[in-house]
Structures are given as structure tokens and as C-alpha cells.
Structure 1
Amino acid sequence: MLDIFATDPEAKAQREEREEKAQRAQRPSFDFQLRSGMLMGRQPISLKQWRFITPKSATAEHLKELFGGTITEAANGDLAVDTETNAVEVIIDASKVESKLIQWADGLPVHECDGVVFLSPEDDKGKPCGCPKLLDERKEKAKQRRGPKPNIVLPLRLAQDQELGLGKYTATAWSFAEDFPYTMKRLAEIDGEAYCILRLEHIEYKTKAGEKREFVKPVLDVISSFQEAMAEDPEPDA
């Protein structure tokens, strides 16, 4: 096979960088996004029910019909649908899922890695990223804004109405990242698209000092292949 870059690795690296940028530019635009949190003033808060963000008023109205709730204006000028549900049936293609660790500064990624090696920029790609080996240390550095945190993008469609188009959920919680390898293993066992439940689980516990603590954990339950799910759900009688 023709390989004109075999003796010119620098030209090959430049060409691969252009290809990667082209692929990023071709990534699909999303008709809606799911959010498990929001800003209250400058304070981020977790939500117990799903929030949808969409630029389309018709989509917002339809989402309200499906999941209840209210429609308001989001901070970015789009529409926000604060639903009355903590669980949404979704269709996911495992091959479209993206996962990495990212540290942001001034709205730009300054550190992108897979936990072991850098994923960008091109000059550093494949080199050790220097992240701590222990999970607790990774979390602490991220909390101090001295290290990257999870960025797992799930492109999806709504099982209840696929005509609403392509949406996504971006998970940044460490709890979701800890489950992620096992979730992907389950998705890999599915032939084709998977039928899943994306839910917000409310967790309560007490510390050793007896103090009550609570948080909301996003969870992706992989149920079956979407084809199987449709076969088990017969059409309603006319």
C-alpha cells in the first residue's frame, strides 16, 4: 500500500493533526442536551430531576409534554426544560461515546488525557500525562483545579420519540467515571444500539461523626439491545 509518509514522520504528524481537526469540525450538532446540574448564581448545584437544554422552541414544548415540568430561558439564551422525571429512556451507540479527562482554563482545554498519556496537543500526544496513580489523589487535584476531571460524552436519542433528533449528556462526575469501564463493558456486549435508562440516583448517608450527607449520582443502566427492546414492546391495538 502507498505510504508517502514512511520517511517523513514530521509531515505525517502534521497531516494527522489536520485530519483530527477536520473530524472534529464534522462532529454532529446536537438538538438537545441533558443536564444533571445548573448554576444558581455562581454556585453549581445538582438536580434531582433532569434538565434539557435546546435552542428549538418546538423541541422544548415536546419535551415538556413527555416529561412534564417548566420551560425557562437558559443562561446561554437557549430554552431550559426542568422536567419532573429522574429517569429517561435513551438509545446509545457505544462506538459514538467519547471519554477523557480534561482540565479547563478560560474556556479552553489545557490538559487532555486518558489518565495515563496525553491525548493532545499533538506534540505531547502519547506522552505520560503525569496524573497521580491513586484515584483519591486525582480527585483532590481536580478539586483544587490543579488536575483534569472526567469528561464523558454520551450521544443519544430518546427512546420515547426518536424524531426529536440527536442529543447528548456530558458526564463530569467521578462517580459516573468510576462506573464507566463496567458500563462500557456491558455496552460492548450489545449487538448494535443499546436501550438504556439514564437516571439520577439520590444518595443519602451519614459520616462517621453522624452528620447527614446527600448527593445526586448520574447512572446509566444498560438494559438490552434496542432491537430486542422494540421486539418485546408490541404495537398498541388500533
Structure 2
Amino acid sequence: MVQILEREELVGRIAAEEWRGGRRVGLRSWLLTTKSREVAERISELYQGEVVRTTAGGDSHVRRLHARGIMVTVARVAHVRRRLTLESRQGLVHACDGSRVLPPMPDEGKPCGCPDDLFARRAAARSGAGPRPDARLVFYLAAAPELGGFSFQSTAWQLYESLGLVLHESRRAGGPVQMELVLREQRMATRSGLDVSCTYPEAHSVRRTSMVKSALHLAA
């Protein structure tokens, strides 16, 4: 099973969603959170960062990044986790890859019973009867790998689907690979005729990178 290595020391996290009213909602721009003022300022220079807030004492710096895409470097496949999960008040009750049950569930390896059809999967997730995407990455910014590692997490179906190709290409390439995280805006009309839009992340442009090995070492 592919897992994010929890012991790794990261300098910050980048998000494309936030909690509102008990559910995750897509953002129109990237959101950086870091404890380092230097990291916040450097990334603001790279991606037109805008100060959102700084906690008392400067323990946390939050920046809104005005960039459509961010090129990142993933050191190894183990830094990408792509699964479907369902949780209850008691915690995790289901984890799978769409066909087989994944750890830490006791029935690991058995058929998960999820529908093969993507539309049916989404419908089950919306009703609360089926699992939702849980996609997580640990990466370096390709433009500034010396800053250290960052994390990214999303529940977007679009990222979950695009990461399937990313993982396939990563295994073929071997070693560190680069991908571009992109924010897409989708417009649609509701049944009542109201125009609405939503923003979601996708992963694209996978290729092998020749970055120096020492620059890709994540501190334990």
C-alpha cells in the first residue's frame, strides 16, 4: 500500500479546500500555511502571495497564492496516497482503491464492493453511503526545492482521478518526478437556471526530473 510517511518534517502545507459548515469547499486560489516567515515570504514572491493572516507571535503564516498552476517534485511514489474512505463518528470504517480494501481495514485485500461506474461512486458518496476521495501528497516546489517539503490534501474527485495517471507514470519513470498541480474552474447551470461555478485541483504534466538527490532528502 502507498502511504505518506508521517515521520517526515514538513515546512508547510498547501490547500485548495477549506471547511465551511461542516464540509470541504473548493477555493479559487491556493492557500499556504507555514510556521516560517521566511518560507511565507519566499513563496509569496514566487506565486504572488497575499497575506491572509499571521497568528499572534508569528507561529503561523497564511498566504493566498495567485497562481493557476504550481509545479512540484515528488521524491518517490510513497509520497502519494490515493484512496477512497468513509468515516463515522467512531473513525475510519472503510478504505479502498475502488476495487480492493486497503489497510488499516481488517478485511484488507478483499473486494470492496464499490461500483465500477464513476457516476455511481459519486452518487453513493453524496448520499453518505459510499466512500469519498482522500488524496495526499508530499512534495517540493520545483521552483524552490531548498525550502523543504510541503503537504497537500484534497477530497476532489478530479484530483483523485488525475492522480491515477500520475501514479502510473511515476512507477514507469522511477525516481523523482515532476507534476503540475492546477486549479480548474467549472461553470454549470442548475435546474433552476442559475449559473454557478466551482474550482477543483488536478494533477498534470508528469515527467522524470534530474534534481540533485540531496535536494530531495526529507528530514526525518
Relative to structure 1, the CA distance from residue 65 to residue 41 in structure 2 (aligned partners, 3 Å threshold; closer, same or farther) is farther
TM-score normalised per structure 2: 0.78
Deviations 1:103-128 (A, max 9, x none): 12348322111222221345311222
Q: Is the Cα–Cα contact under 8 Å of residues 77 and 167 in structure 2 kept in the other structure?
A: no
Q: How far has the Cα of 1:91 moved from its partner?
A: 0.8
> Does 1:111 pair with 2:94?
yes
Aligned with residue 150 of structure 1, among 133, 140, 144? 133
CA RMSD of aligned residues (A): 2.9
AA of the residue aligned to 1:70: V
Q: Is the Cα–Cα contact under 8 Å of residues 27 and 200 in structure 2 kept in the other structure?
A: no
Aligned to 1:14: none
Aligned to 1:72: 53
Unaligned runs of 5+ in 2: 212-220
2: distance between equivalents of 1:158 and 1:111? Answer: 32
Q: Is the Cα–Cα contact under 8 Å of residues 194 and 222 in structure 1 kept in the other structure?
A: no
Q: How far has the Cα of 1:166 moved from its partner?
A: 0.8
* Larger relative contact order (Cα-Cα within 8 Å, sequence gap ≥ 6): 2
Q: How far has the Cα of 1:24 moved from its partner?
A: 7.7
Q: How far has the Cα of 1:181 moved from its partner?
A: 2.4
Q: How far has the Cα of 1:173 moved from its partner?
A: 0.9
Q: Which piece of structure 1 moves more, 51-60 or 82-91?
A: 51-60
Deviations 1:78-115 (A, max 9, x none): 43211122211211235222221111234832211122
2: distance between equivalents of 1:123 and 1:202? Answer: 39
> Percent identity over the alignment?
25
Deviations 1:12-55 (A, max 9, x none): xxxxxxxx9xx987642322111111134656432121111223
Q: Is the Cα–Cα contact under 8 Å of residues 187 and 222 in structure 1 kept in the other structure?
A: no
Q: How far has the Cα of 1:156 moved from its partner?
A: 0.7
Tell which structure's C-alpha radius of gyration is larger.
Answer: 1
1: distance between equivalents of 2:75 and 2:20? Answer: 33
AA of the residue aligned to 2:142: A
AA of the residue aligned to 1:51: L
Q: How far has the Cα of 1:65 moved from its partner?
A: 2.7
Aligned with residue 34 of structure 1, among 5, 14, 17? 14
Unaligned runs of 5+ in 1: 1-19, 229-238
Matches within 5 A, 1:42-121: 42=22, 44-67=24-47, 68-73=49-54, 78-96=60-78, 97-106=80-89, 108-121=91-104
Q: How far has the Cα of 1:203 moved from its partner?
A: 1.9
Relative to structure 1, the CA distance from residue 41 to residue 70 in structure 2 (aligned partners, 3 Å threshold; closer, same or farther) is farther
AA of the residue aligned to 2:152: Y
Matches within 5 A, 1:151-230: 151-206=134-189, 211-227=194-210
